[in-house]
Amino acid sequence: MRKKIIAGNWKMNKTPVEAVEFVKENKSRFDCTNVEVVLCVPYVSLQAVQDELKGTNIKVGAQNMHYMDEGAYTAEISGAMLSDMKIPYVIIGHSERRERFSESDTTVNLKTLKAMEHSLIPIICVGESQRQRKEKRTEGVLRKQVTFALDELSPVQVADVVIAYEPIWAIGTGETATTQQAEEACAIIREQIRKDFGQEAASKVRILYGGSVTPANAAELFAMPNIDGGLVGGASVVPSFEKVIHF
């Protein structure tokens, strides 16, 4: 049985003071044992939030990382730095990074390999645009992104990663893929992993849905056999995130 993950992607929201106040006020309601809760907060708040969450089951994650350990990469953060801070999770290849900061399938793969090298659990984002869906290219896009992202990993490593299916057209738009659309996409992702890495890896890897997840649709989405939780954006920076966690 795959343990579900509810990961909150705070994006560029909350100052360090606001972040600590928020988790202090809500951590008792967010704390959970049957679901793995991860708060992916801005870099400047990682340590303070992690300190505030000591003694709870809530994990902390970063929203990005570089694929080099050190060097002349002004303003970047390395996997080595995150590992030294004991940060367990990192989001890689979010569509906003792909679209606005020139992330590519190649850099996503490099970051994934580096994350695994430093024992970080990558939450790898994949998803199609509205145009690609209309052109009936969803399956091809997802298979390509998954294959590229996981290239050079072993089946044992793949079993530990997390994949987040995020239809680009549903991120921050209020538009959500239907439960059936989300399930079909996650099934495609799992099938590609089975094809590339075998049945055992495919049965263990956790696949999340991300794209306007709210308390109203969480239970139906997370009940699907191939959806193992959610990568939640706007709904994760408000107290009602509790209702997503306790779906």
Residue 53 CA to chain centroid, in angstroms? 20
Q: CATH number of the domain that 239 lies in?
A: 3.20.20.70
DSSP output for 179-213? HHHHHHHHHHHHHHHHHHH-HHHHHH-EEEE-SS-
Question: What is the extent of the structural domain holding 149?
Answer: 5-245
Residues marked active site are found at: 94, 166
pLDDT of residue 106: 96
pLDDT of residue 177: 81
Distance (Å, whole) CA 19 – CA 24: 8
Burial classification of residue 213, based on how many CB atoms lie within 10 Å of its CB (0-12 exposed, 13-18 middle, 19 or more buried)? buried
Least confident of 93-97, 107-111, 187-191: 93-97
pTM of the predicted protein model: 0.95
Do residues 26 and 5 lie in contact, with contact meaning Cβ atoms separated by under 8 Å?
no
Indicate the number of domains in the chain.
Answer: 1
Phi, psi of 100, deg, nearest 5? -100, -20
pLDDT of residue 1: 82
Model confidence over 185-206: pLDDT tens digits? 999 999 999 999 999 999 999 9
- Is the pLDDT at 172 greater than 70? The verdict is no
Tell me the average pLDDT across 130-144. 92
Residue 101 CA to chain centroid, in angstroms? 18
**Residue 247, Cβ neighbours under 10 Å: how many?**
18
pLDDT band at 97; cut points 50, 70, 90: very high
